[in-house]
Chain A
Amino acid sequence: MEITAGMVTAIVCTGMLVVFLALILLVVLIKFFGLASGMTGKQSGRENQPANVQEKTTPKAAVPIVAAQPVTNGVHPEVVAAISAAVHAIGEETGTKLTVTGIRPRRNRKATGRSAWGMAGVQENTRAF
């Protein structure tokens, strides 16, 4: 092949165009397949809905127990129990009497997109990098 400016331009433009076309086609196919499998997932989710509704109604009976606790700002009772147990354990270890007076969720969660536990997990897994 003779080297001319036109030939070089043609190779460069064709090359970039084909690379983009091939990968755009893959984007479309994967998007389409992802949507299709997502719809299948939603359908199977809907089939299970009645059972979920029943499950959701059951925990309401436990609400009065939580109401006896200090200010928890709607934090799940299991989380309250876990935090209280952890505080109690530390109190026993150090020999001091610690009391949980209130638990509230962190307000800056949106800034990182993760909960404190999620952040700790990601920190642990990406520390090597």
Chain B
Amino acid sequence: MEVFLDTVSNLWTESGFMAITWQQLVMLCVSGVLIYLAIVKKYEPLLLLPIAFGMLLANLPLAGLSADSEGGLIYYLYKGVKMGIYPPLIFLGIGTMTDFAPLIANPKSFLLGAAAQAGIFLTFIGAILLGFDFNEAGSIAIIGGADGPTAIYVAGKLLNDTSSIDIGTIAVAAYSYMALVPIIQPPIMKLLTTKKERSVVMQQMRPVSKTEKVIFPIMVTLVISLMIPSAAPLVSMLMLGNLMRESGVVDRLVKTAQNELMNIITIFLGVSVGATTTASKFLQKETLFVVFLGLIAFSIGTAAGVLFGKLMYVVTKGKVNPLIGSAGVSAVPMAARVSQKVGQEANPANFLLMHAMGPNVAGVIGSAVAAGVLLSILL
């Protein structure tokens, strides 16, 4: 009987119940809220759910499941983030699912995708003013690109053990704001445009030939990789996926890249990024700054896109609807849907979806280029 009681006593004293701290309890509650948002509110559930569960794992005392617990399962999975492997593979899958035809038909959309990246660089200044160092500021600013894999890729490269923020915080902020695009963007779009501008019906786009669709990914890979080599891993994988799709000769590979490969990487990426959010790094004022700056980055990116759209409206004498500029922040296809919805509120006969898809996919390339620029300057 004594042996039995000793064993139970030992089990109790060595259990997580005895080792858990109040900070870890708070983190478990935070992960519970995120799981709720993913399941019930469906906020980017494909990534938020594994990220939130990773957060839960990282804050289980004595389990050794945080990303920095050497030798543990997540420690090895996290290598794929730290070494910059997962985000380009996610981009490969995204490439197989993206139709660049609206962008090829109207290449000026690239300018809207470029303008929306202003959110990244202006937030960089804000982060420096709040006391972050260059690498931390770059990692926070890239949230404005509204592109989860790009944000994780940049943060994985720029942040280290001594940084005051972690990749998980960046990822949670980026994906949360991407899910909130339909709430964040419309007020800014309406504030910066008149009803007349929002009602503009754009001309139908020209058809794009298969040759153009096949040449496009090769051309983009060559131009971007030669100009900004540090953007090559993201852009080249995106374009490889797209070339596989448009070539029409490797259907099996396309199906694998957009389903099995993408899903496996999403699980690994989400869980391991979530597992970086330990209480010691997450529960501090810097996390609040990241959340605040992320919102600023998103808002500035949206505003810059819309303002550049207004400029194009003036230059083309009213042929461009400025609302498509907000889709330049990436967040495919949510931002394009928002342009469509706000445009249709002003004019029910207006269909901006395909026009907005141009700046939207240009934003993906633009944010990858901006990421490459930040990496080449800051690393």
Which residues of chain A have a CB within 8 Å of any CB of chain B?
1, 3, 8, 11-12, 14-16, 18-27, 29-31, 33-34, 37, 41, 111-114, 119, 122, 126, 129
Across the A-B interface, give the 4 residue pairs with the lowest CB-CB distance, nearest first. Answer: A30-B107, A23-B110, A112-B349, A23-B114
**What 0/1 pattern do residues 189 to 209 of B give for CB contact below 8 A with A?**
000000000000111100001
Contact B369–A129 (Cβ < 8 Å):
no
Q: Interface centre among A16, A37, A126, by most B CB within 10 Å?
A: A16
Are the C-beta atoms of A113 and B340 separated by less than 8 Å? no
Q: Does B353 belong to the interface (CB within 8 Å)?
A: yes
Please tell me if B373 contacts chain A, counting CB pairs below 8 Å: yes
Distance between Cα atoms of A31 and B108 in the complex (Å) = 9
Instruction: Tell me whether B97 is interfacial, beta carbon within 8 Å.
Output: no
Q: Are B117 and A19 in contact (CB under 8 A)?
A: yes
B212–A23 touching, CB < 8 Å: no
B253 within 8 A of A: no
13 contacts between A and B (CB under 8 A): A1-B378, A15-B377, A18-B227, A19-B117, A19-B373, A23-B365, A26-B220, A27-B108, A30-B110, A30-B219, A33-B212, A37-B211, A111-B349
Residue of A nearest to B204 (CB): A113
Docked Cα-Cα span, A3 to B220, in Å, equals 34
B128 contacts the other chain (Cβ, under 8 Å)?
yes
In the complex the two chains form, what is the Cα distance from A112 to B202 in whole Å?
A: 9
Closest A residue to B377 by beta carbon equals: A11
A27 to chain B, nearest CB (A): 4
| Assembly CA distance A26 to B121 (angstroms) | 21
Residues of chain B touching chain A, judged by Cβ–Cβ distance below 8 Å, are 104, 107-108, 110-111, 113-114, 117-118, 120-122, 124-125, 128, 133-134, 201-204, 209, 211-212, 215-216, 219-220, 223-224, 227-228, 337, 340-341, 349, 351, 353, 362, 365-366, 369-370, 373-374, 377-378
Q: B133 to A3, Cβ gap below 8 A?
A: yes
Instruction: Let me know if B215 and A33 touch, CB within 8 A.
Output: yes
Are A27 and B366 within 8 A (Cβ)?
Answer: no
Pick the contact of A14: B209, B220, B373 (CB < 8 A).
B373
Contact in complex: B227, A22 (CB < 8 Å):
yes
B219 touches A24 (CB 8 A): no
Cβ-defined contact, A29 with B223, below 8 A:
yes
- Contact for B107 among A12, A31, A126, CB less than 8 A: A31
In the bound complex, CA of A15 to CA of B33 (Å) = 36
* CA A112 to CA B219, docked complex, whole Å: 35
Distance in Å: Cβ of B279 to nearest Cβ of chain A? 29
Task: Determine which of A12, A22, A41, A111 lies in contact with B121 in the assembled complex, contact meaning CB atoms within 8 Å.
Answer: A12
Question: A129 and B340: CB pair below 8 A?
Answer: yes
Residues of B within 8 A of A34 (CB): 104, 107, 212
What 16 new A-B contacts, CB under 8 Å, besides A23-B110, A122-B351? A1-B378, A3-B133, A11-B378, A14-B377, A19-B366, A20-B111, A22-B223, A22-B228, A23-B111, A23-B365, A23-B366, A23-B369, A33-B219, A111-B201, A113-B204, A119-B349
Contact, CB under 8 Å: A18 / B110: no
Contact B134 A29 (CB under 8 A): no
Nearest B residue to A110 via CB reads B201
Bound form: Cα–Cα A74–B373 in Å: 59
A122 to chain B, nearest CB (A): 5
Distance in angstroms from B106 CB to nearest chain A CB is 10
Instruction: Assess the B212–A18 pair: CB atoms within 8 A.
Output: no
B369 touches A18 (CB 8 A): yes
Residues of chain B with a CB closer than 8 A to A27's CB: 107-108, 110-111
